């Protein structure tokens, strides 16, 4: 009770709202999270395919869009017809976003900044320009630097993954020839992010990655992340066991949100036994929060969930 009185509800907390394919569940395509700073800046992280385009009523105001890398399930090569279209197992994400991407189309509609690292900013600047947007709305934050956008300081960190650009984004003779040769476009390394909110909360967003030394030396050692969003899907990224090692031994946050499980993680909002999500929860020593679509969670400056978990 004393702690409740000391901290009025909603004060100085960061709100995290998953925008997955199906309300109240954690489904295979789910990537997108909206972070809201206590001062109002709203960030969309990895829109992917489950955000039903720029008109998705769940989006609201979006100031910043983060794209960890260029794969279709993150930048969004297509998107859902509507929230809850199809089933959790097979969401209907059949609305094509080529050659723009879901992220670019949302940025154009919301007049949001796209903040990326590596060589991705030039790609997004060109797409914005080609569609009547302002190329200056594509903002670069390369490894080691940071930039304050709105109320949030954004840094990028390496992710051990691949980052080829689908040639359908490029098109023309060059795109067609490269596609025939099986060579993807190059926009540098995949990334993760470290976000510092105005209440002091530091959040690590892993992106798609394997285990990296930076998770210890940089994410924990330098930035001191207190909350992590960790991809656990295996095959393409760390699986539950590797992701648990990253959390327990390397990043050592106070809490973690599981992400990118590539499975039906929940039924009726409850974790399905035998899933990767369950294995990750059992292996991790700090609280694991499952991102149930549409259910907002609030975190204090230490990464403790104080509402909605």
Tell me if 263 contacts Zn ion by CB under 5 A. no
**Smaller CB separation from Zn ion, 208 or 214:** 208
* CA separation for the pair 36, 48 (Å, rounded): 18
Strand 113-116 versus strand 138-140 pairing type: parallel
**53-61, 107-115, 206-214, 275-283 -> range binding Zn ion (CB under 5 A):** 206-214
* CA separation for the pair 244, 254 (Å, rounded): 13
Among 37, 56, 166, 208, binds Zn ion (CB under 5 A): 208
Question: What angle in degrees, to the nearest 10, is found between the helix axes of 120-130 and 102-110?
Answer: 60
Tell me if 73 contacts Zn ion by CB under 5 A. yes
* CA separation for the pair 1, 5 (Å, rounded): 6
Size of the site for Zn ion (CB under 5 A): 2
Q: Within 280-299, which residues bind Zn ion (CB under 5 A)?
A: none
The DSSP 8-state label assigned to residue 277 in this structure reads H
Taking CB atoms, the residue at the shortest distance from Zn ion is 208
**Sequence-separated (6 or more) residues with CB below 8 Å from residue 242:** 210, 211, 234
Shortest Å distance, C-beta 105 to Zn ion: 19
Shortest Å distance, C-beta 272 to Zn ion: 21
- Judge whether 254 and 304 are in contact, CB under 8 Å: yes
**Smaller CB separation from Zn ion, 118 or 252:** 118
Q: Which x/- pattern over 83-122 shows residues binding Zn ion (rule: CB under 5 A)?
A: ----------------------------------------
Tell me if 25 contacts Zn ion by CB under 5 A. no
Phi and psi angles of residue 65, each rounded to the nearest 5 degrees, phi first: -120, 130
**Smaller CB separation from Zn ion, 73 or 278:** 73
**Smaller CB separation from Zn ion, 97 or 208:** 208
**6-14, 72-80, 163-171, 297-305 -> range binding Zn ion (CB under 5 A):** 72-80
Locate all alpha helices (DSSP H) within the chain, ordered by sequence.
2-6, 102-110, 120-130, 172-181, 214, 240-245, 276-283
Tell me if 166 contacts Zn ion by CB under 5 A. no
Which residues contribute to the site for Zn ion (CB under 5 A)?
Answer: 73, 208
């Amino acid at each position: 009770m004393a702690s409740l009185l000391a901290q009025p509800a909603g004060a100085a907390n960061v709100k995290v709202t998953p925008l997955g394919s199906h309300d109240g569940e954690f489904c295979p395509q789910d990537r997108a999270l909206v972070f809201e700073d206590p001062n109002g800046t709203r960030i969309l992280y990895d829109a992917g395919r489950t955000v039903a385009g720029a008109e998705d009523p769940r989006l609201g105001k979006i100031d910043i869009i983060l794209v960890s890398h260029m794969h279709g399930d993150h930048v969004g090569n297509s998107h859902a017809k509507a929230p809850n279209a199809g089933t959790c197992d097979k969401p209907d994400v059949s609305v094509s976003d080529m050659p723009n991407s879901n992220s670019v189309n949302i940025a154009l509609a919301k007049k949001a900044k796209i903040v990326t690292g590596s060589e991705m900013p030039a790609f997004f600047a060109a797409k914005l320009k080609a569609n009547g947007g302002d190329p200056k709305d594509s903002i670069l934050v390369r490894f080691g630097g940071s930039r304050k956008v709105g109320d949030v300081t954004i840094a990028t960190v390496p992710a051990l993954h691949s980052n080829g650009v689908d040639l359908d984004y490029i098109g023309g003779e060059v795109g067609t020839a490269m596609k025939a040769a099986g060579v993807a476009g190059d926009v540098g390394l995949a990334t993760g992010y470290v976000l510092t909110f105005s209440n002091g909360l530091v959040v690590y967003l892993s992106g798609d990655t394997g285990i990296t030394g930076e998770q210890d030396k940089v994410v924990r050692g330098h930035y001191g992340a207190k909350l992590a969003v960790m991809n656990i899907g295996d095959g393409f990224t760390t699986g539950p066991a590797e992701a648990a090692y990253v959390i327990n031994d390397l990043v050592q946050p106070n809490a973690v949100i599981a992400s990118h499980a590539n499975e039906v993680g929940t039924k009726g909002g409850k974790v399905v036994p035998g899933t990767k999500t369950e294995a990750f929860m059992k292996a991790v020593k700090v609280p694991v929060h499952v991102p149930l679509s549409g259910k907002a969670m609030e975190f204090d400056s230490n990464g403790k969930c104080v509402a909605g978990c």
